[in-house]
Amino acid sequence: MKPADNIEHIVKKLNDSTSAEMDERVLGDVLQALEQSQKATTPKRRLIMKSSVIKLAAAAAIIIAISVVINQFDNWTTNVAWADIAEQFESVPFFNITIYVGNDTSSEAHKIEIWKSENSRIRAHQGNNIIFADFTNGKEDFIAFDRTTKQPANNEGLFLVKAILNDLCPEGRFSLDTLINSFPSDTNGLTPVETADTAASRETIVFEAGHKTTPEWILIWALRGSKLPIQIRFRDPRSNECSDIFFNYSEKKDAKFFDPNTFITQ
């Protein structure tokens, strides 16, 4: 054996790999533990709501609350509900969104840009990746390229964009509700309500939603006239996580922009 002059170099060569048998054993236990942890933390609200009397009482309370809120809204000049914003967004033929994910103080935010065409084709930019997605015919089809080499890429960026697109447009249907519920850890149906801050501007309307079980919150800015969202901010004070999504409806790209073959040959 040679004298160990460069001991650091030799230590770095140590590499162990798990066997298929170990993977099967560990993953079996891990997935079972994950399933049990989800069951163990089923919200009490769901358990309580199993009673039909309580369900009826809750429904009555909600109806009364909605009536009160509607009466309140009647006093305002233009009433825009969250449902209007969500509905209007789904009818937009094309858009461009820019997502910044990161900690608002310590590190640089990661940026992802997504364009949607009129026929539900998607082009996304993340780092050095360019991802094309096709949601036509009710099925999703992803392909990713390295921006510089134009060679196919299959890496972290592709996974990330796929995950975001799957949250944003399950089954090819773009929805604000799925988008706002994809960020927080608790997915028990966030429904944003208008905030008092709206008075600051007549053109914009601001919705907010916060979780009962966690300190996470979401703010959504929308235009009162067009009923379209222009910004969404998700914030988790526990980890300083802050994500911003900016919407743009003025940049219509032609069909070539969404065509992977055109990208390769350009």
Partner 1 sequence: MLEDKLLVIKCRRGDKDAMCRIYGKYKNYLLTLARGLVGEQTTAEDIVHDVFVKFAISARQFQLTGSLKGYLATCACNLARDKIRERARQNKALDSAEPIFPDSENPEQRAIDGEELSQLRLAIRQIPYEQRETVILHLKGGMKFREIAGLQGVSVGTIHGRYRYGLDKLRSLLKSEAQK
Binding to partner 1 by residue 200, rule CB under 8 A? Answer: no
Which of residues 92 and 242 has its CB atom nearest to partner 1 in the complex?
242
Task: Give the one residue of 149, 239, 265, 266 binding partner 1; rule: CB under 8 A.
Answer: 239
Q: How many CA atoms lie within 13 A of 236 on its CB side?
A: 13
Which stretch, 56-64, 181-189, 220-228, 248-256, contacts partner 1 (CB under 8 A)?
Answer: 181-189
Q: Which residue has the tokens 């298929």?
A: 20
- What is the chain's length? 266
**Pairing mode of beta strands 141-146, 193-194:** unpaired
Query: Which tokens go with 105?
Result: 């103080």
Q: Does 108 bind partner 1 (CB under 8 A)?
A: no
State the burial class of residue 154 (Cβ atoms within 10 Å of its Cβ: 0-12, 13-18, 19+): exposed
Instruction: Give yes or no for residue 154 binding partner 1 (CB under 8 A).
Output: no
- 72 sits near partner 1 (criterion: CB under 8 A): no
264 touches partner 1 by CB under 8 A: no
| β-strand partners of 205 | 222
Nearer to partner 1 by Cβ, of 117 and 184: the residue is 184
Contact 218, 183 (CB under 8 A): yes
Residues that bind partner 1 (CB under 8 A): 1-5, 7-8, 10-18, 22-23, 25-27, 29-31, 33-38, 40-41, 101, 110, 156, 159-160, 163-164, 183, 185, 187, 236, 238-239, 241
